[in-house]
Amino acid sequence: MAVGIIIIGDEILSGQRKDKHLSKLITLLAEREMQLDWAEYVGDVPERLIETLRRTFAGNDIVFVTGGIGATPDDHTRQCAAAALGVPVALHPIAEKLILEHIAETSRADVMHINGGDNYHRLKMGEFPIGANILPNPYNKIPGFSIAHHHFMPGFPVMAWPMMAWVLDTKYVDRQHQHTHAKRSMLVFGLMESTLIPLMEAIEHEYPGIKVFSLPSLGERNYGELCMHRHIDLGVKGDPAFLAAAFERLLVGVSELGGEIKI
């Protein structure tokens, strides 16, 4: 099971708001020795969102979905998830209870008389695809939902991030700390990336569980005066058992090619 994230919202694609979920999920996964395999951004277009969810529901990935589960007209995620699964939405009884509790706590209203007016729209936030389970929201009790290894949560970081952590620590504990990875890298000057490709391929062939990465730079990264020139951030990552040997092989190979190294 790979791990992915779908980040929903026109405001992200237009630049009105800056996405923070991607980097946070990467951090949460890394803390548990897991990793993010893919990410997608989707606007508030129901047809495209249904198509995206239909495709991801057809797989086996763990998918975090942020945004679009509010009660305003541009919030389509709940309905789109249901459409992608071919099921209706219905007010979840636990969601109804939690939302009514939230309303009572914030408005001091009598929960027996709050099913009309604005509160009707708030209760719409508890309408989930049939078969969904509640995803607790510790911030204000208004829940998200989980279904088919997809976990839907609000776009607000203060709500979404604790919900992400809860999902990982409640549903996927058995997938944590299963694959310990390490990484070592160097800065290489005076060589073209294409020159390094045979060396990179040879190391990956010689050391199972190791990947070689190469990040060329035009010199904009601030590593000091030496790095004002073109360079390559070159390294190995993967199984710690092979990392030291693979890195030494990389050092020797770069030196033999005439590259200048800074570690």
Residue 112 is predicted with a pLDDT of 46
Closest alpha carbon to 25 in 66, 57, 78: 66
Which CATH topology does 182-262 take? Answer: Alpha-Beta Plaits (3.30.70)
Task: Tell me the DSSP string of 139-152.
Answer: TTS--EEEETTEEE
Per-residue pLDDT tens over the stretch 2-47: 999 999 999 999 999 999 999 999 999 999 989 999 999 999 999 9
Residue 115 is predicted with a pLDDT of 53
Q: Which residues contact 176 (CB under 8 A, 6 or more apart)?
A: 32, 33, 34, 168
Residue 118 is predicted with a pLDDT of 65
In this prediction, residues 123-143 reach a mean pLDDT of 95
The amino acid occupying position 226 is: L
Instruction: Give dist(CA 84, CA 68) in Å, integer.
Output: 15
Neighbours of 37 (CB within 10 A): 13
Residue 168: which H helix or E strand, with range?
helix 157-171
pLDDT > 80? residue 180: no
Per-residue pLDDT tens over the stretch 220-252: 555 554 455 789 999 999 888 999 999 999 999
> Band of the pLDDT at 72, cuts 50, 70, 90?
confident
CATH of domain 3-175: 3.40.980.10
Q: Where are the domains of the chain?
A: 3-175, 182-262
